[in-house]
Structure 1
Amino acid sequence: MSSSSHDPTGPTGPWTEGDQSVQALRLLTMNALFTGDVPARLRALGAALDRSDYDIVCLQEVMFRRHARLIRRAAPAYRHVACSGTGLLKGGLVILSRWPISRSRFVRFPMTGPVRGELIMRKGAQLASVSTPDGELVVVNTHLSANRDDDWSPTNRYTRIARTELATLTELIATAGPSVPVAVVGDLNLPRDSTTLTEFVAGAGLRDILASDPRPTYRPTPRWPSPPALDHVLVRAAAGESLTGDADLVFQDKVTLGDGRQAYLSDHYGVRARLIRSR
């Protein structure tokens, strides 16, 4: 696993595994931040995606369908999209794919207290079955409720909410069936080393591609100088197969917006993953 920032617009080419050259599936997950200079940042993000080699892109906090259309116009290479809702997108979740999406659906998390403005987002998970050149891959793009206490201990009130939402995710993953590989990605709002997350990963039969990476995925601020890793890429191989790969952080630096200003694309970094399916 590299500790350096990956250039998402540069060529990466096929992997070589042993004596056999194999093509990796390239995936990106990123919380796109729904406040601030949203259209300008999304246009810049879309342009960067269009220059990239990502096969599948999972975005969170794309709150409105007009913003999803804006990204698609800026990234015409992604001909297939999965999102739910008309004006306000359910969960703020968008999946873009270069490969056909045969089916998709949104599953909403149960509404549990405390009452908070975040409930307007109707958080949940967007599932898409993607027909890749190497076969079907089920992608689950999700965004769990935030922990406003920054306390991920088992008895915390937000930890209880997270467990309820993860139980819904576990049931959704199980519907894919054992013969299909699964990638669960997004802003889970849980540190990588939290007990709640590690129990979910084990219980759902997943593997954390970034398990040994201690770097934060949320951009440090004076108020929060040492944030945890909140964005994750979790995978489950199909029965009798393996699903290997690596991941790295991207979009860490400022980019040039359409009017020439320099700005960060989001308050989160992107996470790119390269996955290899072996039979």
Structure 2
Amino acid sequence: MSQEAGERLVVASLNTRGTSIKSSRLVERYRAIGAAFEASEVDVVNFQEVLTYYHLRHLTRAMPSFGTASYRQSVVGPAGGVVTFSRRAVASTKYKRFPMLSAEQTAGVSQLARLKAPLKGALVSRLVEPQVSIVNTHLLANFDGDWSVTNRFYRMHRSQLAGLARVVGSAQAPIIVSGDFNISRESTLYRAFLSETKLVDAFGGECAPTFHAEFLEQGRTPHCIDFVLLAGPIEVVSAELNFTGKLAMPSGSGYVSDHLGLCAELVVAE
């Protein structure tokens, strides 16, 4: 597919968690994130961990040129913490929670992880032009850094990935899926998910770690756990990481998140 035969679309993804709650510097970080996207050519941003309406309000104020913020309302904030900001008109938005987990699937994990798991899901926004489905997702975190079959989080992740696969399968193509999957690119979970959904990695399997090593325990290795995945007639022009270094903020330079961001320039077939 030649670039002349389609429409250019730049899509980004970022988990906005940042540092610990005690030193979050939320307002400063969100202003820095917003300023970076305001100065960019990005059309659509999938954000994760926008946990409350307080978070959402500050992010919206920082990104005035993004006319639409798509999410599903919940009691305290956007459902699942996922919000899609778009400079393009959005035709429809829907949110789907992942399946409830059984006691067997949650065996061995903390009470907090069991409480968070039912809140996870995927947000699907359909753009007016180009006509493409944008899927924004965030899976449960694996605090062990181990994605093997015997790990305590394995069955939970497998269930959530099955739920995400069903969301992708029901979405209208072309489809762009991005977010914080919390599974390593090297894992069998990741490979099985791509095999089932037939999604293609915009980075071609060459993406560097998407988590800052400074936020890991000593001795832990960062992995690529955030992805931009594609289905349908979409050409990848370029794909790169952003927010790779510290940014200047009023109280001192710092990372805007514990995650790095992803950005892909695409051409969607007409």
Which consecutive residues of structure 1, in runs of 5 or more, have no partner in the other structure?
1-15
Other-structure match for 1:24: 8
- C-alpha distance in 2 between matches for 1:242 and 1:55: 15
Other-structure match for 1:82: 70
For the residue of structure 1 that corresponds to 2:182, the secondary structure is: coil
- C-alpha distance in 1 between matches for 2:189 and 2:164: 13
Other-structure match for 1:127: 124
- C-alpha distance in 2 between matches for 1:110 and 1:157: 18
CA contact (8 A) 2:237 2:267 kept: yes
One-letter identity of the residue aligned with 2:126? S
> Which has the larger displacement, 208-217 or 96-105?
208-217
Deviations 1:234-279 (A, max 9, x none): 0001xxx34434311101111122x252111000100001111235
Which one scores higher on RCO, CA 8 angstroms, separation ≥ 6? 2
Deviations 1:171-218 (A, max 9, x none): 1111124xx200110010111121111111121120011233151000
- 1:98 matches 2:91: no
Other-structure match for 1:248: 240
Which consecutive residues of structure 2, in runs of 5 or more, have no partner in the other structure?
none
- 1:277 matches 2:261: no
- C-alpha distance in 1 between matches for 2:253 and 2:11: 26
44, 49, 58: which one pairs with 1:70?
58
One-letter identity of the residue aligned with 2:155? R
One-letter identity of the residue aligned with 2:96? V
* C-alpha RMSD of matched pairs (Å): 2.1
Aligned pairs for 1:195-234 (under 5 A) are: 195-221=188-214, 223=218, 225-234=220-229
Deviations 1:55-112 (A, max 9, x none): 0000111111221121111111000111122423211111000011111111112343
CA contact (8 A) 1:26 1:272 kept: yes
Q: Which of the two has greater helix per residue?
A: 2
- 1:47 matches 2:42: no
Other-structure match for 1:157: 152
Corresponding residue pairs, total:
255
- C-alpha distance in 1 between matches for 2:258 and 2:186: 21
- TM-score normalised to the size of structure 1? 0.84
* Percentage of pairs with the same residue: 31
- C-alpha distance in 2 between matches for 1:94 and 1:247: 21
Other-structure match for 2:231: 236
- TM-score normalised to the size of structure 2? 0.87
The runs of 4+ residues in structure 1 deviating greater than 4 Å are 20-23
Aligned pairs for 1:109-148 (under 5 A) are: 109-112=98-101, 113=106, 114-118=109-113, 119-120=115-116, 122-132=119-129, 135-148=130-143
Q: Classify 1:260/1:57 alpha carbon distance in 2 versus 1 (closer, same or farther; 3 Å).
A: same
- C-alpha distance in 1 between matches for 2:135 and 2:5: 28
CA contact (8 A) 2:236 2:264 kept: no
